[in-house]
Each structure stands twice: as structure tokens, then as C-alpha cells.
Amino acid sequence: MARAYNFNAGPAALPEEVLLKAQKEFLDFEGSHMSVMELSHRSKEYSQVHDKANALLRELMEIPENYEILLLQGGASLQFSMVPLNLLDRNLGASYILTGSWSEKAVKEAKRIGPVEIAASTKASGYHAIPPLANIHWNKETSYVHLTSNNTIYGTQWQEYPQTGHIPLIADMSSDIMSKKIDVSRFGLIYAGAQKNLGPSGVTVVIIRKDLIKKDESLPTMLSYHTHASSGSLYNTPPTLAIYLLSLVLEWTKDKGGVSQIEKLNQQKAKLIYDAIDESNGFYTGHADRDSRSNMNITFTLPSSELTDKFLQEAADEGFIGLSGHRSVGGCRASIYNAVPHEHCLALAEFMKKFKNTNS
């Protein structure tokens, strides 16, 4: 069976090898005569899955020993609340950089917990860009600085992160975690829903510097990082199937040559589609400023809404899935996460060129 050209923004394409392996093991996981979904989360077999996911995350992202890895539920959206609940000192407030709708949502939740200052925002210019580092200003005594490393809806991505010194830098990396090498030690906390680069929905990865984990008896148990850190993310029943699939995606990432190799492949894939935009003599217009372009979500428009509709219809007829822009910005968006094959990006770039030649 041919696989769909899946450009969904998340949940998104998973590696075919991962799906085949999961299929093979579905009824009988490693000779247990049970599906991985049927194992007790306290069993030896499941512990191995859980430990493998943790160990591979640490290895692939080169996560230092002074960081804890947590596998949680509630999506990145719950982190919008857990981050301020655990880390926002109401006397100091917290600083947020606004680069799109997800940052706005993070701010909305933080404001329920304590004072928030906006350290920079590109809202006035329609979120076309990441702010220049020189334009970002935070209160020297703020609890933390929060940013969204890749803006899934607008198609912008940070190329270089601010130096925050002793202030913890916190990043929502939902849509670009493990797509490129990063220095984890630059961050106090990183969080990401798995459903783009890491696996299916249902598990959220949190990487937190150990000194930021505090026991706060006033917090609801499940909302405290301390609870999950002190129980190896097994305080309650974890999403076992999602973590199993996460472990398979991590194995696949390692087999591909690890994050630096994935980064190279991602650059090549993105270039195919950005070239189709840049060489179209203005037929396609990229939403993001060039120096803020995302290698994960490529957003563009056509000269009219009629042509956009025609493009999306013909693309769908040719088997391209998920190319409509987010409902809040319209236009088109191709999400090309780690698991989207090079050939699928090539097929899209060729379709774009063909469509331009017959419609301009």
C-alpha cells in the first residue's frame, strides 16, 4: 500500500518502519503473549520500554545528568499552566516572548498564576518573524523567560536563542524538538507534545534542570514536577502505548544517524519547498521573513483565494494531505517533520512548480 503524502501539522506522519514494527509486535510484545497496551505499567516488560524511551531521549538530545526527563500527559497545553504553577514567583513575575498563537496561549495561562511581562512581540507585524535578539528585554529579576522555539501556525523558527544568564530559559519545543541539535544546558526547562517529531499524541516530554524542581505542598499533586520527578514519571498510570511508540521513534531517529543527521535531512527537505516558493516569481509568497523561516512548517499563500482553493483541491486530488493553512491564518502550510520522507517533499515541490506553470 502506498503511504499518503502526509503534511499534517500534528498529529503528523510517523516513520513507516515504526508503524511496521508496532504492527508486528501488536499482539505479542516480546514473547509476553500480550499487546504492549495490556501490560501492567509496573511490569518488567513495560519498565524496559519506559527506561528505553528515557535513555534514548537522553542520548539523542545529549541531555546532561543534572536534568530530569518527565513523560507526562495533558499535552503541551497543560505545560502552559504547569510551568508558571511550579516556577513563577509571584513577587518577580515571568517574561514571555510572543511569536504566535501558542505563545499567546502560554501567556494567558501564566497570567492566571502571577504577573507576566512581554519581553518582545512580533504580533504587530502579523507574526512574520522572530524578534531580533537585541529587541528582547526582560526584567533582570524575572522568574524565567519563555519562548516558543517553532511557531507551528505561522511557520517561523528561532535560529539563535537569547542568552538569559542566571534566569532560566524555558522553551515550548512542541513542533521542532529533535529536528536539530540544541544545547540543552542553555535551558531551564523544555517541553513538547510528542505528536509531531516524537510519536503519537498522548505523551508530553518535559526536560527540567533538577535545581528547578521544588516540593510545593500547595500544588495539586499531579501538577507538581516534583511528583513526577520523584517517581520516574510513574506516579500514576502513564500513557504506555504512546511511550512505547515514542521509544520506537527514538530508535528510528538513532538508526537514521541521530539528531545531527536528521537536521541535515530536514534542511534539504525544507530547501526543496522554499526553492519552489522563491523561484516562482512571486506566485507563491512565504509568510515568514527569510531569516525566521521554519524548517518544520512552511507557510505560503497564492495570488488569490480562488487560486489557493484550486491549489488545495488539486493537491488533495493528487494525494497531498494536510496542506491547508491553520484556520487562523489561511493560505497553505506544509508540515515536514522528521518522519516526512524526502521523496514526499520532492513530490510537493514538483507539484507546486507544475501548478504555477499552468496557472500563472
Measure the CA–CA gap between 91 and 89, rounded to whole angstroms.
5
Q: Considering only CA atoms, which of 356, 62, 94, 51 is closest in space to residue 212?
A: 94
- When CB distances to ligand PMP are compared, the closest residue is 75
Asked whether position 168 contacts ligand PMP by CB under 6 A, the answer is no
172 classed as catalytic:
yes
Q: Among the residues of the chain, which ranges form H helices?
A: 16-25, 44-61, 75-87, 101-113, 225-229, 240-255, 258-278, 305-317, 342-359
Select which of 158, 172, 180, 269 is catalytic.
Answer: 172
Do 36 and 49 contact (CB within 8 A), yes or no? yes
Residue 208 has φ and ψ, to the nearest 5°, of: -130, 135
Q: Which stretch binds ligand PMP (CB under 6 A): 168-176, 215-223, 283-291, 306-314?
A: 168-176
Measure the CA–CA gap between 17 and 55, rounded to whole angstroms.
20
Q: Considering only CA atoms, which of 320, 348, 322, 344 is closest in space to residue 335?
A: 322
Cα-atom radius of gyration of the chain, to the nearest Å?
21
Q: Which stretch binds ligand PMP (CB under 6 A): 49-57, 70-78, 305-313, 337-345?
A: 70-78
Q: What angle do CA 30, 35, 38 make, to 5 degrees?
A: 120
Asked whether position 188 contacts ligand PMP by CB under 6 A, the answer is no
Asked whether position 122 contacts ligand PMP by CB under 6 A, the answer is no
Asked whether position 109 contacts ligand PMP by CB under 6 A, the answer is no
Measure the CA–CA gap between 196 and 185, rounded to whole angstroms.
23
Q: Which stretch binds ligand PMP (CB under 6 A): 43-51, 58-66, 167-175, 285-293?
A: 167-175
Residue closer to ligand PMP by CB (options 75, 168) is 75
Round to the nearest angstrom and report the end-to-end CA distance of the chain. Answer: 35
Non-local CB neighbours of 73 within 8 Å, separated by 6+ positions = 202, 203, 204, 238, 239
Measure the CA–CA gap between 163 and 165, rounded to whole angstroms.
6
158 classed as catalytic:
no
Residue closer to ligand PMP by CB (options 9, 349) is 9
C-alpha cell at 324: 491547508
> Of residues 7-26, which lie at the interface with ligand PMP (CB under 6 A)?
10
> Of residues 86-105, which lie at the interface with ligand PMP (CB under 6 A)?
102
Q: Total residues contacting ligand PMP (rule CB under 6 A)?
A: 11
Q: Which of 32, 35, 43, 77 binds ligand PMP (CB under 6 A)?
A: 77
102 classed as catalytic:
yes
Q: Considering only CA atoms, which of 150, 148, 147, 177 is closest in space to residue 259?
A: 177
Asked whether position 335 contacts ligand PMP by CB under 6 A, the answer is no
Q: Are strands 204-209 and 189-193 parallel, antiparallel or unpaired?
A: antiparallel
Asked whether position 5 contacts ligand PMP by CB under 6 A, the answer is no
Do 168 and 161 contact (CB within 8 A), yes or no? no
Residue closer to ligand PMP by CB (options 174, 266) is 174
Asked whether position 295 contacts ligand PMP by CB under 6 A, the answer is no
Residue closer to ligand PMP by CB (options 109, 172) is 172
Residue closer to ligand PMP by CB (options 151, 280) is 151
Q: Work out how close the CB of 148 gets to ligand PMP at its nearest, in angstroms, rounded to a whole number.
A: 5
Asked whether position 32 contacts ligand PMP by CB under 6 A, the answer is no
Type of residue numbered 155: G
Q: Work out how close the CB of 66 gets to ligand PMP at its nearest, in angstroms, rounded to a whole number.
A: 25
Binding mask 128-157 for ligand PMP (x = CB under 6 A): --------------------x---x-----
**Site residues for ligand PMP per CB under 6 A:** 10, 75-77, 102, 148, 152, 172, 174-175, 193
Q: What is the set of active-site residues?
A: 102, 172, 196
